[in-house]
Every structure is written in C-alpha cells, then in structure tokens.
Structure 1
Amino acid sequence: MRGMAWLARREILRFSKVYTQTILAPVVSSALFILVFGLSLSGRIRGIDGIPYDQFIVPGLVAMSMVQAAYSNNSATIFQARFDRYIHDVLSAPMRPWQMTIGFLVGGVCRALLIGALLVAVAAPLTGVGVAHPLVLAAACALGLLAFSALGLIAGIYAQSWDHTAFIQNIVIAPLAFVGGTFYSVSVLPSPWQEISHVNPLFFLINAFRYGFLGHSDVSVALSLAICAALALPLYAWAQWLFASGKKLKA
C-alpha cells in the first residue's frame, strides 16, 4: 500500500509542477466557451426547456474538460514511462497489479477533479448555475473519470508514438463531446440524427452531469449512469489486465 501511495503522489506531483499547462489552461479555455457561447449568446438564444442557455452549457463543458484531462494525463504519463523505461522500476516494485493501476489512475482523476472544481467556481458566479442532485453528479464524475482515466492508460500502453495518444483525444473524444449535446439539446435534432446521438456514450455522460447540475436530462438518468458504468468497468478491467499480464509494458 505504501508503494501505491507513493506512485499516486508522484502522479499528482507530475501534473502539479506544470499547473499552468495542466490545470490553468483547460480552465481558461472552457471559461472562454462560457463567455463566448453562454453570456454573449444567451440574450439571442432562448432558454432550453426553461433553462437559461448560459447555465445549460456549463455541465457539458465541465464534463468535456474533465474527461479530456483524465485521458490526456494518463495517456501521457504511461507513454512517458514506457519511453523512458522507468515503467520497469514500477513493475518490479512490491506492488500488486491493481495497486499499480490505481496508482496511475489517481493522477488523471485528481487533475480532472481540480479542473472541474475550478471551472464550477468560475461558472457559478457568472451564470448562477447550481448543483441540483449532488449524488447523481458524484456518480457521474466517478464513472466518467474512471472510464477515461483507464482509457488513457490503455492508449498510452498501446501507443507507438505521441501522435497515437493525441489521435484519440483530438479525433474521438473531443468530437464526441461536441456532438453529444454540450451546446444543445438533442431533442431539437431531426431524425435520424437524434437516434444516432444515442449511440454516443458521451451523450449519456453529459446528460448525467446536466441532471446533477440542473435536474434536467434528455434521457433517463438511470439509463445514463448505467451506460457510463457499462463503459467504465470494462475499460478499468482492460487496464487492470494489461498491468497484470505486462502486455506491451515489459517489452
């Protein structure tokens, strides 16, 4: 357990040393979305289902910023560990595979939680957004961060270059977040785009966040959390198997 604690501490120190890049930059970029799309357009765009537009976009932006941070942190740290070959020191340490997995996951989760908390602290006075269902929001955060922190580890283990890790974030995660209802309600989309949106797992995560913040969701919150769990648990199991088997890590 002491080894796991020190590994987790190292992962936290890793991103906190360069907080202007890892914490401040994503908070500022998301805050600009709120200012540009929320405050400047809220007077021209009618509220969605009775919710002011500047408040409506906050949950999606928080979710998007958090999952991107969780993924990018863990994909970068594990790829760097493989590239510099100090992953062998971790693998030879007296830790069980699940302790290694959790030790690496902590970095992405903590970074994402810091970004989410700071973004809410900025958005709350600007938009007046609150937390309607804290338990739902906590569950959505836990499942979303577990899923994308584990996905970051998986991508970083299989990646052969930095471009491979960036590909998933730029070509998969970011587009899915934008078309998952961050800036609009999918209920306004015509068929078949509305049905296609339900294939997007980030659609369910964003709606779980929105229900936690605003008490509003395009789909059942139970279904949203179930889909998030169905995504998070296999990804965690996959990451755990990689550490247990040493696949791509011992090469």
Structure 2
Amino acid sequence: MTHTADPRAETEQGVRRFGAVNWLGMWTLALRETRRFAAVWTQTLLAPLVTAGLFLLVFTLAVGTNRGDVMGLPFIHFLAPGILMMTVIQNSFANVSSSIVISKVQGNIVDTLMPPLSATELLVGYLAGGILRGVMVAVAISVLMFPFIGLGVANPLMALVWVALGGAFLGALGIIAGVFANKFDQMAAITNFIVTPLSFLSGTFYSIEGLPPLMQALSHANPVFYLIDGLRSAVLGVSDSSPWLGFAVVSASTAFVCAIAWWMFRTGYRLKS
C-alpha cells in the first residue's frame, strides 16, 4: 500500500513547494517595479535629468568663474557628483515609497501581500526597482551631462558601487516611509521635512571644511554626506573624509534601515490592518 504526502502537512511545516526562495515571485515583483517607472519614463528618467541639468546650468551662470576652486577643483566639477547623488537618492526614495503608498490608497496592496513572498523577497523586489531607477538616472547624467562640463569619472566601478548603495539606503527608507504613510500628504511631509534636508545639508553644494564645528559634526552624523563624499571621491579622486569610513557608515546605515523595512513586511505593520 502506497502513501502519498499530504500537501497540507507540507504547508503546516512552512515548507514552500518552490524551495527556500521564491525566485520567480521575487523576479516578478522586481520586474513590476521596473516596468512601473519605465512606463512613465518622461517623469521618472527624463525629468530628473532635466532637473540635474538645470542645477548645473544655474550654478554655472550664477557663479561662473567668480567662485574659486574647491578642494583644488573648479567649483562646477566639485558640484557635479553631489548633484548626481542627490538626484539618485531622491528618485530611489520616490520610486519605492510612491509604489507602496499608491497601492495602499487604491486598496490593491493585498495583491502584493497575498502571493507566497517572504519579507526578504518583498524587500529585495521593491529595492530592485529603486536601485535600478537610481542607476539609470546616474548613468544618464554622467554620459549626457558630464562631458559638457569637461568632467570624466576617475573610478567608474566605485562610482557604480556608491550609486547602488545610495539607491539601497534611500530605497529602504522609501519602504519605511511608504508603509508608515497612509495618504499622499503624509508622504509629501516625509519627503519635504526629512529626505530633502538630508540631501541638501550633506555637502552637495559645499565642502564641509568651511562649516562651523557644530555643523561639521552634524554633517558627519548624516549618512547622505558619506554617500555624496564617496561618489565625489570615485568621480574626482578627492573627498572630505575617508571613503572607507564612509563605506562602513553607509553600509551599516543601509543594513539598519533594511532591517526595519524587513520587520515591517514580516509583521504586516500598517499593511495588514
């Protein structure tokens, strides 16, 4: 007499039929997040490119040659990596947070939570879209705009690592913000009062060497400062602090916010109620 395995017992033990990792489900979520921003590329890719170009143009026209060198470099060259990273992190944050908030407002977040996806798979799927959007924006800016100001990239591989780290850090923050916010005005408040100050007050437009001691200390407590400083080191070969210290700080900060985002997915905080 032969016995067949009871599929209910397999489910009760928490063993999924497709193995330890739902690769297909995770890939599908990442693909959905990518197609979501690619479908409106004029808003998600072209608009950030234009905004970054306007920043460079305005500073070039307003400051021009009147501004002396910064860290031994022309001011516009010093400024470019900061604007690039600022654009990357803002778009990575917006991609993830808007996806979650829109799903919650429209009531279809259940379509993402119901499939057999673990908290880790949800985290990776959402982050993939945010990181990819940030990388695509960074590549567009460096290829289309840097040549116009006579700027190259000293270490392209390290620049890509910093861009990916920035996308992961702000993407995870975007998950936290998207889960926490229930309305678009709450999301706008988080963007205006947290994300924008973090990116603007982080050495994007200036070297922190010229700041008072208190402001320097506050800048060193801001992980976004290390993102901008690290990318500046990869692009220009100069930085305000050690790139290795920055890499350690950003990696630890990214792991911390990813852990919070994972916990939110794991417990269903503000998602399943």
Q: TM-score with structure 2 length normalisation? A: 0.87
Q: Work out the CA distance in 2 between the residues paired with 1:220 and 1:50.
A: 17
Contact 1:78 1:156 in 2 (8 A): yes
Are residue 43 (structure 1) and residue 65 (structure 2) matched?
A: yes
Cα distance, 1:89 vs structure 2: 2.1
For residue 98 of structure 1, the aligned residue among 103, 113, 120 is 120
SS at match of 2:194: helix
Percent identity (aligned)? 38
Are residue 7 (structure 1) and residue 29 (structure 2) matched?
A: yes
Query: Where does residue 213 of structure 1 map in the other structure?
Result: 235
Instruction: Name the stretch that deviates more: 87-96 or 56-65.
Output: 87-96
Q: How do 1:60-75 and structure 2 match up within 5 A?
A: 60-75=82-97
Query: Where does residue 81 of structure 1 map in the other structure?
Result: 103
For residue 184 of structure 1, the aligned residue among 206, 211, 217 is 206
Q: Work out the CA distance in 1 between the residues paired with 2:177 and 2:166.
A: 16
Change (3 A) 1:176 1:96: closer
Q: How do 1:1-251 and structure 2 match up within 5 A?
A: 1-38=23-60, 40-251=62-273
How many residue pairs get matched? Answer: 251
Query: Where does residue 10 of structure 2 map in the other structure?
Result: none
Q: Work out the CA distance in 1 between the residues paired with 2:62 and 2:127.
A: 37
Cα distance, 1:33 vs structure 2: 0.7
Contact 1:140 1:228 in 2 (8 A): no
Q: CA RMSD in A?
A: 1.5
Change (3 A) 1:7 1:132: same
Q: Work out the CA distance in 1 between the residues paired with 2:213 and 2:259.
A: 36
Larger Rg: 2
Specify the code of the residue in structure 2 equivalent to 1:72: A
Cα distance, 1:241 vs structure 2: 1.5
Q: Work out the CA distance in 1 between the residues paired with 2:157 and 2:36.
A: 30
Encode CA deviations 1:201-228: one digit per residue, 9 max, x unaligned: 2111110110010011101111111111
Contact 1:57 1:182 in 2 (8 A): yes
SS at match of 2:221: coil
Q: Work out the CA distance in 1 between the residues paired with 2:228 and 2:100.
A: 27
SS at match of 1:49: coil
Cα distance, 1:40 vs structure 2: 4.9
SS at match of 1:145: helix
Cα distance, 1:195 vs structure 2: 2.7
| Runs of 4 or more consecutive aligned structure 1 residues displaced over 3 Å after TM superposition | none
Specify the code of the residue in structure 2 equivalent to 1:217: S
Cα distance, 1:123 vs structure 2: 2.3
Instruction: Name the stretch that deviates more: 208-217 or 11-20.
Output: 11-20
Query: Where does residue 4 of structure 2 map in the other structure?
Result: none
